[in-house]
């Protein structure tokens, strides 16, 4: 019975607004608990996927989150719109299915529109609430939509095989190869030689990785609007980047990534996209309690 988890502090409602939508009014007293339970079971909210610029009502088809893919449509305010679908009011766990549904909708909308993606799991109670969201943050949304117009995000992860690199370093670096030689023939303790070998190899790996990453960023610089380096995940990854690319430079960017792939044949590239510009837009909204009148 989630309805009872709502903050129970008594507060005034603007009479005109609440009168217009009695269904979404929270239970005010224990007496109507049963009614609340019945309502909770059938309560429908609106899941928000993204914000786009559009003055028209749009429909994107049955793609939405939920076991029966809900109809995805817009809720409009002036020249911007929220892309939403009806959903039960509940916490959406980031399961494979849910997360992919969220992404699927964004990718579909993105084909024809500039989107500001919403982070996963945002559900509003009513259509009016979403209009209120669009109204309150209109300037921010409008401004960011203009900035993101016709720009796409691409992901580029670069991985290497550490062992292959270590062998490479042993071949190339004289100090390292000498030490390796020493360790293999030395009698007695090789502790210090091994320590030093480890230090040298680590430093050389680090230097190689930095050099590769710098070269890759440099090679993509003039075909991207901006880039962002995220923390690499795991010890094979040396680069975890996102690039913001103008739609008309998409082919050029694509071509450049492929050239880089051919040039750095010891590295593995994971190239993904187009994505909504998740890595290049961060709008944090907070809810504030409106002042009591």
Site residues (CB under 8 A) for other proteins, limited to 15-74? 17-18, 21, 24-26, 43, 45, 50-51
* One of 37, 39, 125, 162 touching other proteins (CB under 8 A): 125
* One of 32, 39, 132, 142 touching other proteins (CB under 8 A): 132
CB 3 → other proteins: shortest distance, Å? 7
User: Residues 260, 219: contact at Cβ < 8 Å?
Assistant: yes
* One of 142, 168, 190, 271 touching other proteins (CB under 8 A): 271
Site residues (CB under 8 A) for other proteins, limited to 196-235? 213-214, 217-218, 220-222, 224-230, 233
Contacts of 67 (CB under 8 A, 6+ apart): none
Q: Residue 61 belongs to what H/E stretch?
A: strand 59-62
Site residues (CB under 8 A) for other proteins, limited to 83-102? 89, 91, 94, 96, 99-100, 102
Three-state helix/strand/coil letters over 214-248: HHHHHHHHHHCCEEEEECCCCCCEEEEEEEEEEHH
Q: Select from 53-61, 150-158, 177-185, 196-204 the region that touches other proteins (CB under 8 A).
A: 150-158
Does the protein bind other proteins through residue 257 (CB under 8 A)? yes
Site residues (CB under 8 A) for other proteins, limited to 177-196? none
Tell me the C-alpha to C-alpha distance, in Å, between residue 267 and each of 158, 260, 270: 7, 10, 10
* DSSP symbols for 9-29: ------HHHHHH-GGGPPP-S
Q: Select from 54-62, 141-149, 173-181, 197-205 the region that touches other proteins (CB under 8 A).
A: 141-149
**Six-digit token pair at 186?**
């030395």
Residue closer to other proteins, measured from CB, 197 or 279? 279
**Six-digit token pair at 95?**
């399961």
Residue closer to other proteins, measured from CB, 185 or 290? 290
Which residues are paired to 268 by β-bridges?
159
Exposure of 232 by Cβ count < 10 A (0-12 exposed, 13-18 middle, 19+ buried)? Answer: middle
CB 280 → other proteins: shortest distance, Å? 4
């Amino acid at each position: 019975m989630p309805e009872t988890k709502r903050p129970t502090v008594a507060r005034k409602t603007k009479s005109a607004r609440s009168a217009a939508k009695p269904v979404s009014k929270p239970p005010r007293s224990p007496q109507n608990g049963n009614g609340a339970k019945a309502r909770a079971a059938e309560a429908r909210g609106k899941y928000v996927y993204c914000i786009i610029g559009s003055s028209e009502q749009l429909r994107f088809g049955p793609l939405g989150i939920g076991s029966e893919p809900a109809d995805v449509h817009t809720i409009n305010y002036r020249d911007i719109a929220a892309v939403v679908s009806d959903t039960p009011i509940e916490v959406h766990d980031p399961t494979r299915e849910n997360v992919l549904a969220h992404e699927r909708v964004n990718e579909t909308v993105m084909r024809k529109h500039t989107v500001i993606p919403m982070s996963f799991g945002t559900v509003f109670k009513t259509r009016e609430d979403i209009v209120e969201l669009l109204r309150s943050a209109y300037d921010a949304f409008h401004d960011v939509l203009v900035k993101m117009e016709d720009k796409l995000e691409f992901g580029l992860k670069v991985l290497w095989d550490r062992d292959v690199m270590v062998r490479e370093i042993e071949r190339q670096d004289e100090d390292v190869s000498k030490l390796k030689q020493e360790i293999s023939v030395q009698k007695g303790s090789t502790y210090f030689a091994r320590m030093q070998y480890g230090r040298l190899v680590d430093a050389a790996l680090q230097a190689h990785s930095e050099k590769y990453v710098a070269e890759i960023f440099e090679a993509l610089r003039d075909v991207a609007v901006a880039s962002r380096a995220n923390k690499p995940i795991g010890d094979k990854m040396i680069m975890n980047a996102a690039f913001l690319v103008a739609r008309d430079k998409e082919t050029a960017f694509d071509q450049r990534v492929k050239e880089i792939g051919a040039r750095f044949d010891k590295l593995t590239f994971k190239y993904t996209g187009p994505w909504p510009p998740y890595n290049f837009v961060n709008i944090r909204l907070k809810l504030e309690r409106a002042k009591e009148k």
